[in-house]
Chains A and B, each alone.
Chain A
Amino acid sequence: MKKTATLLVLVLGLAIGASLHLGLNLYSPATVLAALGGAEGTDAIIIRTLRIPRTMVAICAGAALGLSGFLVQSATRNPLAEPGLLGINAGAAFCVVLGVTLWGTVGLAAMGALALAGGLATTGVLFGIVAAAGRTAGPGTTLLAGVTLAAMLASLTQVLLLVDETALETMLFWLSGGFADRSLAVLALGLPSLVVGMIGALAISASLDVLRLDDDSAGALGVRVTGVRMGALALGALLAAGAVAMAGPVVFLGLVAPHLARRVAPRTNSAGRIVVTVLTGAIIAVLADIVARLIVLPGEAPVGAVLALVGVPILVSLLRRKAEAAL
């Protein structure tokens, strides 16, 4: 476990290094080091004001979305659950756009609050629907309901933006989802939510272990099933909202990261899994961001498209795994 974590930290370090060097302009290690040391010149400014912020945002958002996916998956015992596919990201984004449409530009704090409210509300609505579908509703039903909810919220967002052109200008870029060109200030939203989410997740990790059993058995072992589940979902929504406030709605990260983490560290308890997932999420986000700026040079691909290209094969292989119980 310790070895895995160390290895992942190392990989993350390498990814960060690559992220600072690679892009439209390739920089030598000397240039990067000089820039970090406070050198002058265009290259150093590009590295300091563009590459470093986007790398930091990617790390933070990737970690948050990965952990969010893990929490939602554990809480629902559903390997297909993911904040993006379940519409939580879309809900957070919709709320932010609604706020901007109603009150004009909003400050960072208000944006964070709106994203959180949207994320929580969507989570509530979604699991309300799933609960109403009754005990027979499998992971497939949850996913279907989530995807539909996401489609509806995306349409609503689109309509809002088209009606209010000022909002369109401010929000369109943020809405496309990505890590580039974000100011470091957004970290003030994402970092606290990541920290709170991680602490909360570690606090309930022992209960999450037991929650792998069915509800009745878990209850018999002394876990307050409903409480833990609600807590995990709320933390998941909080993390997703933080990530959305930073990077806009980014899909598939929450699905891919926990799944890879499971592959990397197959036999750990939830606490270990949380650490591994956070690291994996950060690594994937940084790598996807690098790919996004390289594959369509000189342009830049939305990181969401890159993640979908990786995420869909994983989703399909998950669906086809025999061990994954009945859907």
Chain B
Amino acid sequence: MSPIAAPLRLAGLAACLAVLTVVATGLGSSALPLDRVTAALIGRGETMDAVIVWTLRLPRVVLAVLAGMALALAGALLQRVTRNPVAAPSILGITDGAAVGVVAFLWIFSDDANALTVSIHWQPLAAALGALVFAALVAVLALFDPQGRSPLRIILYGISLAALAKAAVTLMMILGPVYRAGQALTWLTGSVGAAHWQDVGTVAAGLIAATLILVMVGCHVRQLVLDPETAQATGVSVGRAQLLFLVLAVALTALAVSQVGAVGFVGLIAPHIARLIHGQFTGGYLAATAMIGGVLVLGADTLARTLAPPVELPAGALTALVGAPLFLWLLLKERRTHG
């Protein structure tokens, strides 16, 4: 454990996130120096700068941060519920399930003229529905497993169903109207793309609700590191806590995925980075995880749009490039210590 006190570490992380936010807001096709960004942010900049900052850059930057937070929290909750350090929304098939929900929504509710027949605001709900269905499938397969419940097998079921979901998405995109397919494709690769304050509001509202729930019952999360029977003996209603946090994780994932697409590996690695620099049993672990998730997605998205202009790389590809090696390393470490 590092000698710096926990509140100080959290403050440090928050500062990191704030600095990155300002820097990311400045970067782009017409780069703004930091002082002009700050001036625009506090409402003292020139009109042009204010337009760039407030309508073009900031919604995207804030959306990236919030989506990262939601994904990271979902990952941390899933790792606790399954008692498995390699659990994450994308690995358990939840992300791809949300993708199925969104693509099905776009497919079912568009008319011949390629216009949506219902409001786009239903999209997060569709994502949540898809995510919930796939999460439930994985949970049922893992709970009624003839070979007994084991943390590794949940993951194997998750990977299998994720492959199924991907195939379903591909087929629906081909079956669906061309225009919608194109839209779904950009969305699927995981990019923050064209963000509006409205999207930001949706994710923020969900995140605030989740935070309130966690503040009220957050102490249960820590208790779940114990095996279910022992946790029960310390006074937790384990089944109910697991269900609540599972649903919460699914909702957070769906929320993030419906807005920024299938950005993978964030829910997996953010909790582990938090564990390394903050400690997973220290108070504020979830807060640290959320902030790191924000930093990761914002960093990936910023790199994605500035690395090879004018091409925009999908942020999801960048998080996979960082996340996959880290995951392999974790897998090795896990096997060595528990083998």
In the bound complex, what is the Cα–Cα distance between A39 and B42 (angstroms)?
78
CB neighbours of B311 from chain A (8 A): 162-163, 165
Asked if A113 CB lies within 8 Å of chain B CBs, one says: no
Interface 1/0 per residue, B233-270 and A, CB below 8 Å: 00000000000000000000000000000001000000
Asked if B336 CB lies within 8 Å of chain A CBs, one says: yes
Counted as pairs of residues, one from A and one from B, with CB atoms less than 8 Å apart, the total is 134
CB neighbours of B320 from chain A (8 A): 151-152, 154-155
Query: Is B156 a contact partner of A327 (Cβ separation < 8 A)?
Result: yes
Within 8 A of A (CB), among B127-174: 141, 145-147, 150, 152-153, 155-157, 159-161, 163-164, 166-168, 170-171, 174
Q: Using C-beta atoms within 8 Å of the partner chain, give the interface range for chain A.
A: 35 or more
User: Known contacts A132-B332, A308-B166: does B156 contact A143 (CB below 8 Å)?
Assistant: yes
User: Known contacts A151-B320, A155-B317, A315-B160: does B167 contact A304 (CB below 8 Å)?
Assistant: yes
| Number of B positions contacting A (CB below 8 A) | 44
Within 8 A of B (CB), among A155-203: 155-156, 158-159, 162-163, 165
CB neighbours of A299 from chain B (8 A): 174-175
Asked if B110 CB lies within 8 Å of chain A CBs, one says: no
Most buried by B among A140, A144, A322: A144
Query: Is B153 a contact partner of A140 (Cβ separation < 8 A)?
Result: yes
User: Known contacts A137-B335, A320-B146: does B324 contact A155 (CB below 8 Å)?
Assistant: yes
Asked if A134 CB lies within 8 Å of chain B CBs, one says: yes
CB neighbours of B156 from chain A (8 A): 80, 140, 143-144, 319, 327
Within 8 A of A (CB), among B158-207: 159-161, 163-164, 166-168, 170-171, 174-175, 189
Chain A: interface secondary structure?
helix
Asked if B3 CB lies within 8 Å of chain A CBs, one says: no
Q: With CB as the reference atom, state the residue of chain B lying closest to A143.
A: B156
Q: State how many angstroms separate the Cβ of B3 from the closest Cβ of chain A.
A: 33
In the bound complex, what is the Cα–Cα distance between A305 and B335 (angstroms)?
32
In the bound complex, what is the Cα–Cα distance between A152 and B265 (angstroms)?
10
Asked if A251 CB lies within 8 Å of chain B CBs, one says: yes
In the bound complex, what is the Cα–Cα distance between A159 and B156 (angstroms)?
27
User: Known contacts A145-B331, A158-B317, A299-B175: does B147 contact A312 (CB below 8 Å)?
Assistant: no
Q: A154-B320, A312-B167, A322-B147 are in contact. List 14 more A-B contacts (CB 8 A).
A: A132-B332, A140-B153, A148-B327, A155-B321, A155-B324, A156-B317, A163-B311, A299-B174, A301-B174, A312-B163, A312-B164, A319-B157, A320-B147, A327-B147
Which B residues are closer than 8 A to A by beta carbons?
86, 141, 145-147, 150, 152-153, 155-157, 159-161, 163-164, 166-168, 170-171, 174-175, 189, 264, 308, 311, 313-314, 316-318, 320-321, 324-325, 327-328, 331-332, 335-336, 338-339
